[in-house]
């Protein structure tokens, strides 16, 4: 049978073991929050700080450069009322005509040219005739473009081109410094635009 001394020693040994275990758990418990608390600090110090790059201020859209000389005649001089009546008496001059954005007439207006519109009072079809006074290099560029995109029309009496897109015809003519453009659903073939081109060239003194 164990002696009292032996029991005391066993008890002390158990107490020592329990004390060690409790200390170890306490150490682990204390260490865990410490690691958790210090991790963000370490990550923050090692991660590069992100800086916001200033967004450049938007710049104003520049208007197209005008390369032509002003065309100073009016619509009734470019195409007289008699010339319009001879072409089709239903057409009347539209005082408030504005070229469609992206159209040849709009391009001509940007180059300080003149664009006029006549409306068929019966069908609502629009006849647009525009003229620009351009430098030689610009005229050459235009001619080279029409050579590849349109059909040459020698019957206009000057360098001329015609194209029908299935909806309307476009006639182009070049004389001296002038580019004359005539567009209408009434133009199905080059001959339909012939009297308008001839009248416009006459109005320009060509």
Q: Quick one: pLDDT at residue 67?
A: 80
- On the 0-12 / 13-18 / 19+ scale of CB atoms within 10 A, 70 is exposed
pLDDT in tens, 93-139: 999 999 999 999 999 999 999 999 999 999 999 999 999 999 999 99
Asked if 172 and 128 touch (Cβ cutoff 8 Å), the reply is no
Percentage of the chain with pLDDT > 70?
Answer: 67
The pLDDT score that the predictor gives to residue 155 is: 95
pLDDT beyond 60 at 196: yes
The mean pLDDT of 30-55, rounded to a whole number, is 42
* Position 38 pLDDT exceeds 60: no
Instruction: Give the confidence band of 66 by pLDDT, cuts at 50, 70, 90.
Output: low
How much is the pLDDT for 58?
36
**pLDDT for residue 36 is more than 70:** no
> pTM of whole model > 0.85?
no
CA–CA distance, 187 with 131 (Å, rounded to integer): 18
Higher pLDDT, 126 or 63: 126
Average pLDDT for residues 69-91, to the nearest whole number? 96
Mean pLDDT for the chain overall: 78
**Given the DSSP bridges, would you call strands 169-175 and 178-184 parallel, antiparallel or unpaired?**
antiparallel
Q: Which two tokens stand for residue 111?
A: 């180059």
pLDDT tens digit string along 129-182? 999 999 999 999 999 999 999 999 999 999 999 999 999 999 999 999 999 999
- What pLDDT is attached to residue 77? 97
Which 8-state DSSP code applies to residue 72?
-
CA distance 94 to 105: 15
Examine the pLDDT at 1 and tell me if it is beyond 50.
no
Supply the pLDDT for residue 177.
97
Q: Given this model, what pLDDT does residue 37 score? A: 44
The per-residue b/e assignment along 148-163, b for 16 or more CB within 10 angstroms, e otherwise, is eebeebeebebbbbbb
């Amino acid at each position: 049978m164990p002696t009292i001394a032996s029991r005391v020693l066993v008890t002390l040994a158990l107490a020592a073991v329990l004390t060690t275990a409790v200390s170890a758990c306490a150490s682990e418990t204390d260490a865990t929050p410490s690691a958790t608390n210090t991790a963000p600090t370490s990550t923050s110090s090692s991660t590069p700080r992100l800086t916001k790059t200033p967004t450049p201020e938007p710049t104003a859209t520049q208007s197209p450069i005008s390369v032509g000389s002003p065309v100073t005649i009016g619509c009734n001089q470019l195409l007289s009322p008699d010339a319009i009546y001879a072409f089709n008496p239903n057409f009347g001059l539209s005082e408030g005509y504005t070229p469609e954005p992206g159209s040849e007439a709009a391009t001509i207006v940007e180059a300080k040219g003149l664009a006029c519109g006549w409306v068929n009072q019966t069908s609502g079809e629009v006849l647009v005739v525009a003229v620009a006074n351009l430098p030689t290099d610009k005229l050459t560029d235009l001619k080279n473009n029409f050579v590849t995109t349109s059909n040459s029309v020698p019957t206009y009496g000057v360098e001329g081109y015609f194209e029908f897109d299935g909806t309307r015809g476009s006639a182009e003519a070049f004389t001296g410094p002038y580019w004359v453009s005539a567009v209408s659903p009434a133009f199905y073939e080059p001959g339909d635009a012939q009297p308008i081109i001839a009248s416009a060239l006459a109005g320009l003194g060509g």
